[in-house]
A and B are shown apart, each in its own frame.
Chain A
Amino acid sequence: QVQLVQSGAEVKKPGASVKVSCKASGYTFTSYAIHWVRQAPGQRLEWMGWINAGNGNTKYSQKFQGRVTITRDTSASTAYMELSSLRFEDTAVYYCARERYMDVWGKGTTVTVSS
């Protein structure tokens, strides 16, 4: 069945970078874009950006522009979200979702920023 499997939890120090992966299975990876969404503890969902898995084109939220980079490896059917210059407030669960009407979501990756 269609699945998005995300990488495991991460603990990072302020100023570091984190790279979260999202491996797709059960469909042709290049047929749909992948969104990245995050949710800080007790807070709202935040859309971070997306990547066209076919041609690699990206679009980012203004809030994260300059700090986030979304890439993909078509040979591995995997999308990646890298967030740099981490701050304490970047502590959140990071989700990927398939752009077929956002029908499939990963289970989320917890990123903790702590000194």
Chain B
Amino acid sequence: GAVVSQHPSWVICKSGTSVKIECRSLDFQATTMFWYRQFPKQSLMLMATSNEGSKATYEQGVEKDKFLINHASLTLSTLTVTSAHPEDSSFYICSAAFWGERSYEQYFGPGTRLTVT
């Protein structure tokens, strides 16, 4: 099956610093990549949708200047959490999607645990 990787798998950073998370589709080209945030014992909250070469579309309530998304190619998207604060601590999950022959296919990365101290 299709594989999506994320790096790093976990990161600890100090308040005020920025952190970059990478999302790669390893064996397919993704039309679209998505970034989600998941709080403990809760469902996934879609943060933004990005298409290669264009600006990301952010969901309501998500600060675009805080969560910078760059979709450099059909296999790579990055999420940068700028000026991180403890409330940004969370589990961030990306997914990569494409339209297959018969249906829409979306595959998820393993997630990145961010802890801001």
Bind each other: no
